Amino acid sequence: MTSRIAKAIIEGNPRLIAKGISTVERGGEAAYELLGEIYGVGKSYILGITGPAGAGKSSLINALIPYLKNNFERIGILAVDPSSPFTGGAILGDRIRMIEHAVDSRIFIRSMASRGHLGGVSAATKDAAKILEAAGFDLIIIETVGVGQDEVEVVGLSDTVVLIQVPGLGDDIQVMKSGIMEIGDVFVINKADREGADRIARYIQSMLEENFSGLGYIPPVVLAQAVNDIGLDTIVEKIIAHRAYIEKSGEIEKRITKRIEDDIESILRFRVESFLKSRLDFDSRLPIWVERIRKGEETPFTLAKKLGGEILPNLMEN
Amino acid sequence: MDNRVRILIAKPGLDGHDRGAKFIAKALRDAGYEVIYTGIRQTPESIVETAIQEDVDFVGLSLLSGAHNISFPQVTELLREKGAEDIFVFGGGIIPEDDIPFLREKGVKAIFGPGTTVKQITDFIEEEMAAKKA
Amino acid sequence: MEKHHDDCHDHNCGQNPDCNAGFIRKKRAFLEAEKARWEQDSVKPLLGKAPERSDLIDYEGNVVERLAIPKDFDCAYEDKLGFPGEYPFTRGVYPTGYRGRLWTMRQYAGFGTAEESNKRYKFLLEQGQTGLSVAFDLPTQIGYDSDHKMSIGEVGKVGVAIDSLEDMETLFAEIPLDKVSTSMTINSTAAVLLAMYIAVGEKQGVSSKELRGTIQNDILKEYIARGTYIYPPRPSMRIITNIFEYCTQHVPKWNTISISGYHIREAGSSAVQEVAFTLADGIEYCKTAISTGLDIDSFAGRLSFFFNSHNDLLEEVAKFRAARRMWAKIIKEQFNAKDPKSMMLRFHTQTAGSTLTAQQPDNNIIRVAIQTLAAVLGGTQSLHTNSRDEALSLPTEDSVRIALRTQQIVASESGAANTIDPLAGSYFVEQLTDKIEAEAFDYIEKIEKLGGMISAIEKGYVQKEIQDSAYKYQRSIESGERIIVGVNKYRVEKEAPKELLKVDPSIRDVQVRKLEALRSRRNNDAVEKHLELLRKAAQSDENLMPHIIDAVREYATIGEISDVLRDVFGEYKEQVIL
């Protein structure tokens, strides 16, 4: 039995798709229920777009959309921006570069704040993508906050990762060293009219050829100028080519398997945690436990054993 | 449960004076809200689609060119048409007091004139959110 | 023994006791020590009993210096100040200042229809205004006809609606263009409005060579602060240089650009940023014009500027003086101009609209009076004073009259216009002038390093600087650290009802009907033909002006002309960095 909102999402109602995304952002039981209802519905190809701030990710996505529309019927875009660590608020400013597509019925754009989550996306990005998938978007683009060694969560979420660099944004060598070379399936040098573009493209190309020689796929490097409409059709070509590769080579099966594994783990964990918390009346008893530990009457370990004994006999044996 | 207020700040029509809108966007971010700012020269269609896709709680419209009696109702009416009248609209800029009753009748929940403090706006937001929950 | 000369500027020289500079160095050290003593003996004890106020901040939030004492003793006079009308023009661009001729009193106006605006212009000319200043509505500024979808709600609101030459003819009906000087606040569509003005002159029998006036025509600040851009930066610069070239030959008395800081200031910048970004824009225009083959001395003399006159009287006077000195140096040293006229920074000023309060609007009359004094003591060439009710609406006739009287009282009754650059030599003002110059040059250097102003704008650098200033300033008002009378202090519970101007909302309908009639009356083949020629010219590097004038004569509309250029050049998309 599907709820009204799940039905509407599957039918593609924009207002309820948006509300569905808000529900999974808020988390908790309602999110869990909704995700349960729509699990497995729809099939999307997921494109991750990542790169340092100033690389022009949003402008590139904006420019790619007309070309992507030749290959995909409906495109959903999740653009992630950082939340302020001090106030918890955020300015979500990626959308403004894609504003011309706001009224296109084939496009849906949602801005998400990282809400303290490290890794380049928000904790709910994966779930938001599931909502869009159930709503029938055959392509979902995830635009990350930025890229650094810690912000590579997008790799696990995506089928193809496009990594954008720009000339002149700092030391090229540092870029290579930071380990991000391994995460891109397609490399784009944006603002390629700037000085140094060819050089950095050749550098990356040679590194990739070194690292991936003999393997089935060497990530290509594309020179582009998003604002001048240059290189965009090539980028789309390379994305399609990568998709063909991972489908043929079985690579995509590995990725899907990993995602299902992650789903099982996180959903199970959520279920168990909520169950435990409610059964143990966790929130109201917590202050009492803290007091006891403070007074030295308990440790968290003895506590766990005791509580475990309350609901899960034999679970906490040494 | 991670419940955060989401607000769209938009400038409809041709007016390009965005100092106030940008200030409010930043101030609301500093107050802990998630703010989507879409820049100048927005059409009502674009504003409403954005509000819907972003599932915002509020839309703040800024206008200094005198076109508010046309532009603001365009947004509130379109929101209503699309079944999104639970998104509250507030406005700011150069809006004569005399026009406020008309705008409120057309669905604008509040008008914040010159001299408004950030606190007045955040109080309004908190009050409306509390009322929504109840 | 070698005697150092009086013109030794080495302030570290102290070897020779006969050296003038050595004397100065000793004197300065002595005074600094005296100041320290004064602070210790006289100020400190008093501070214990009566501490200083907490709102002693300037625009940027820095605490203002308690007391300025002499640092330079006359030997730098010739270099830094000089004489009015002579390089570096710190003390003014004309040798007789206002003693020869007062500044032009030029009140910006225009609203609704061309007929109503025409009436207001005639009223102002009768009241003693000496130049016309035209405000256009947003559709006209952004190249949309009144019947375009984007024009809904905007027609005639912030200025007059001009769709075609027909409206322009109505606007200047019975106003002899050879007898007035007209300033048009128009940027992206400046070429079109200028073309229309020329065509109106033709019909009056006035040659374009006799026309006097200004078009604002400063596209760079639109990207930074004002927002009425259409095309991207590079094609917009091309249009501007086409206008320079055309006017050099055909409209030689016309000021082809009013490089503007007013809006940058209104967007929340500091005084330093206002000067720095305006002059940086000016540098970019000069570079672009020169790159098309023009010689600096052929156009620089007709460049004019437009500044803001804000609340802090002393800082504003210092700002204007610093700007003059800086521009003179830039034109002489960076661009190697030979003609002193090229080095003169001539400017129009408007009192700061953003300082007007909606609360207790009569207070604004006083604010405007202070800002007027600042502009006059700063040596402006022309001045617009805001009306008291402009925080709420377009001004009523009464309010506009008071604004004009403010200028007239300062001119005739205050004595401020009777001597040249009266605040020169004030320790505080001279030090502030030097400080503003130094900080503004820092900004200009930074912008050069970023690749020039267009690059800096594309990178969002300029916009971010302004936004940060604006944010800080606004926060200081909200916290109460900065007092705004009537707003966060000295408030009244119930404000008196205000008499405000109401713009007739049916203006759009009037214009739409006019357009329909126009399109059926005119020679549409001729319009088509000239629009096509304009398109071809835009695709090549021909000068666009003659084609625009041709199109305008046939009553092509501003939307039709702008759309041709939109097709060829594309439209600019905002670069937002928050």
What pLDDT, on a 0 to 100 scale, did the predictor assign at position C482?
Answer: 93
Count how many Cα atoms sit within 13 Å of the Cα of residue A54 in the half-sphere of its side chain.
Answer: 9
Q: What tokens does C8 get?
A: 């030794």
What pLDDT, on a 0 to 100 scale, did the predictor assign at position C182?
Answer: 93
Closest by alpha carbon to A168, among A129, A205, A198, A212? A198
How far apart (Å, rounded) are the C-alpha atoms in residues C303 and A108? 48
List all residues of chain C from 536 to 575 with a beta carbon under 8 Å from chain A.
573-574
Q: B50: alpha, beta or left, given left = phi > 0 and alpha = psi -120 to 50?
A: alpha
What pLDDT, on a 0 to 100 scale, did the predictor assign at position C574?
Answer: 81
How far apart (Å, rounded) are the C-alpha atoms in residues B122 and B103? 20
Closest by alpha carbon to C124, among C108, C100, C102? C108
What pLDDT, on a 0 to 100 scale, did the predictor assign at position A155?
Answer: 84
- Burial of A73 (C-beta count, 10 Å sphere; 0-12/13-18/19+): exposed
Domain ranges of chain C: 104-446
How far apart (Å, rounded) are the C-alpha atoms in residues C505 and B67? 9
**Which chain A residues contact residue C577 at CB under 8 A?**
93
What pLDDT, on a 0 to 100 scale, did the predictor assign at position C459?
Answer: 85
- Structural domains for chain A: 40-249 (3.40.50.300), 261-311 (no CATH)
Is the pLDDT at A129 greater than 50? The verdict is: yes
What pLDDT, on a 0 to 100 scale, did the predictor assign at position A271?
Answer: 85
What pLDDT, on a 0 to 100 scale, did the predictor assign at position C539?
Answer: 97
Confidence bin at A149 (pLDDT 50/70/90): low
Closest by alpha carbon to C243, among C198, C275, C283? C198
Coil/strand/helix, residue C32: helix
Of the two residues C166 and A176, the one the predictor is more confident about is: C166
A193 to chain B nearest CA, in Å? 27
Other beta carbons less than 10 A from residue B67's beta carbon: 25
Is B1 part of any domain?
no
Other beta carbons less than 10 A from residue A219's beta carbon: 22
How far apart (Å, rounded) are the C-alpha atoms in residues C577 and B23? 12
Q: How many domains does chain B have?
A: 1
How far apart (Å, rounded) are the C-alpha atoms in residues C190 and C221? 14
**Which chain B residues contact residue A93 at CB under 8 A?**
36-37
Which amino acid type is present at position C13?
Answer: C
**Structural domain containing residue B112:** 6-133
- Predicted ipTM of the assembly: 0.94
C neighbour chains, 3+ CB pairs within 8 Å: A, B
Least confident stretch, B22-31, B75-84, C152-161, C376-385: C152-161
Q: What tokens does A22 get?
A: 């808000």
Which amino acid type is present at position A179?
Answer: G
pLDDT in tens, chain C (578 residues): 344 455 555 555 555 555 666 777 788 888 889 889 988 988 888 888 888 888 888 888 888 888 887 776 655 787 888 889 999 999 999 988 898 889 988 888 766 789 988 998 898 888 877 788 899 999 999 999 999 999 998 998 888 999 999 999 999 999 999 989 999 999 999 999 999 999 999 999 999 999 999 999 999 999 999 999 999 999 999 999 999 999 989 999 999 999 999 999 999 999 999 999 999 999 999 999 999 888 999 999 989 999 999 999 999 999 999 999 999 999 999 999 999 999 999 999 999 999 999 899 999 999 999 999 999 999 999 999 999 998 887 788 899 999 999 999 999 999 999 989 999 989 999 999 999 999 999 999 999 999 999 999 988 899 999 999 999 999 999 999 999 999 999 998 888 777 777 767 788 899 999 999 999 999 999 999 999 999 999 999 999 999 999 999 999 999 999 999 999 999 998 877 67
Q: Which residues sit opposite B36 in a β-bridge?
A: A92, B8
Residue with tokens 């700037």: A194
What pLDDT, on a 0 to 100 scale, did the predictor assign at position A315?
Answer: 47
Of the two residues B127 and A153, the one the predictor is more confident about is: B127
Q: What is the largest CA-CA distance in chain C?
A: 92
How far apart (Å, rounded) are the C-alpha atoms in residues A90 and B29? 5
Is the pLDDT at A318 greater than 50? The verdict is: no
Peptide bond connecting A85 to the previous residue in cis, omega within 30 degrees of 0: no
Other beta carbons less than 10 A from residue C79's beta carbon: 14
Most B-contacting residue of A26, A81, A83, A111 (CB-CB within 10 A), to test interface = A111
What pLDDT, on a 0 to 100 scale, did the predictor assign at position C4?
Answer: 46
**Size (chain C), residues:** 578
Using alpha carbons, list the distances in angstroms from residue A158 to A50, B46, C289.
11, 29, 50
Size of interface A-B (CB pairs under 8 A): 91
How far apart (Å, rounded) are the C-alpha atoms in residues C404 and B10? 36
CA angle C371, C374, C375 (to 5 degrees): 90
Which residue of B35, B42, B49 is in closest CB contact with A89? B35
pLDDT tens sequence across C446-477: 999 999 999 999 888 999 999 999 999 999 99
Q: Which residues sit opposite A223 in a β-bridge?
A: A189
With residue C260 as reference, give the H or E element that holds it: strand C257-260
Instruction: State the DSSP string of B50-86.
Output: HHHHTT-SEEEEEE-SS-HHHHHHHHHHHHHHTT-TT
Q: Chain A contact for B65, CB < 8 A?
A: no
Which amino acid type is present at position C114?
Answer: A
Report the side by side order of strands in the sheet with C212-215: C108-109, C132-135, C181-185, C212-215, C254-255
CB environment C225-252: b (16+ within 10 A), e (fewer): bbbbbbbbbebbbbbbbbbbbbbbebbe
Q: Do C578 and A91 touch (CB under 8 A)?
A: yes
Q: What is the DSSP letter of B42?
A: B
Least confident stretch, A105-114, B64-73, C325-334: B64-73
**Which chain C residues contact residue B96 at CB under 8 A?**
392-393, 500
Which residue of B2, B32, B35 is in closest CB contact with A26? B2
In this structure, are residues C231 and C286 in contact, taking their beta carbons and an 8 Å threshold? no
Q: What is the mean pLDDT of residues A286-297?
A: 92
Q: What separation, in Å, do the N-terminal and C-terminal C-alpha atoms of chain C show?
A: 64
Of the two residues C72 and A267, the one the predictor is more confident about is: A267
- Burial of B132 (C-beta count, 10 Å sphere; 0-12/13-18/19+): exposed
CATH number of the domain encompassing residue B99: 3.40.50.280
Q: Chain C contact for B84, CB < 8 A?
A: no
Radius of gyration of chain C (CA): 25
Q: What is the DSSP letter of C42?
A: I
Closest by alpha carbon to C409, among C371, C436, C369? C369
Least confident stretch, A205-214, A219-228, C397-406: A205-214
Q: What tokens does C204 get?
A: 């009056």
What pLDDT, on a 0 to 100 scale, did the predictor assign at position C467?
Answer: 93
Q: Do A93 and C573 touch (CB under 8 A)?
A: no
Q: What tokens does B53 get?
A: 């896709």
Least confident stretch, A33-37, A152-156, C143-147: A152-156
**Which chain B residues contact residue A15 at CB under 8 A?**
52, 55, 82-84
**Which chain C residues contact residue A102 at CB under 8 A?**
none
Q: Do A93 and C578 touch (CB under 8 A)?
A: yes
Other beta carbons less than 10 A from residue C499's beta carbon: 10
In this structure, are residues C384 and C106 in contact, taking their beta carbons and an 8 Å threshold? yes
Backbone angles phi, psi at C260, to 5 degrees: -110, 135
What pLDDT, on a 0 to 100 scale, did the predictor assign at position C209?
Answer: 96
Homologous superfamily (CATH) for C104-446: Methylmalonyl-CoA mutase (3.20.20.240)
How far apart (Å, rounded) are the C-alpha atoms in residues C179 and C176? 5
With residue C277 as reference, give the H or E element that holds it: helix C271-291
What pLDDT, on a 0 to 100 scale, did the predictor assign at position A160?
Answer: 95
pLDDT tens sequence across A87-106: 999 999 899 889 889 899 99
Is the pLDDT at B31 greater than 60? The verdict is: yes
With residue C257 as reference, give the H or E element that holds it: strand C257-260
Size of interface A-C (CB pairs under 8 A): 7
Which amino acid type is present at position C169?
Answer: E
Q: What is the mean pLDDT of residues B22-50?
A: 95
Residue with tokens 């006097």: C212
A neighbour chains, 3+ CB pairs within 8 Å: B, C
Backbone angles phi, psi at C213, to 5 degrees: 165, -165
A142 to chain B nearest CA, in Å? 15
- Burial of A274 (C-beta count, 10 Å sphere; 0-12/13-18/19+): middle
Coil/strand/helix, residue B92: strand
Q: What is the SS3 assignment for chain A?
A: CCCHHHHHHHHCCHHHHHHHHHHHHHCHHHHHHHHHHHCCCCCCEEEEEECCCCCCHHHHHHHHHHHHCCCCCCEEEEEEECCCCCCCCEEECCHHHHHHHCCCCCEEEEEEECCCCCCCCCCCHHHHHHHHHHCCCCEEEEECCCCCCCCCHHHHHCCEEEEEECCCCCCHHHHHHCCHHHCCCEEEECCCCCCCHHHHHHHHHHHHHHHHCCCCCCCCEEECEHHHCECHHHHHHHHHHHHHHHHHHCHHHHHHHHHHHHHHHHHHHHHHHHHHHHHCCHHHHHHHHHHHHHHCCCCHHHHHHHHHHHHCCCCCCC
Q: Which residues sit opposite A159 in a β-bridge?
A: none
Closest by alpha carbon to C164, among C138, C181, C140, C132? C140
Q: Chain A contact for B26, CB < 8 A?
A: yes
Is the pLDDT at A248 greater than 70? The verdict is: yes
Q: Chain A contact for C149, CB < 8 A?
A: no
Q: What is the DSSP letter of C69?
A: -
In this structure, are residues C231 and C565 in contact, taking their beta carbons and an 8 Å threshold? yes
Q: What tokens does A245 get?
A: 């590769």
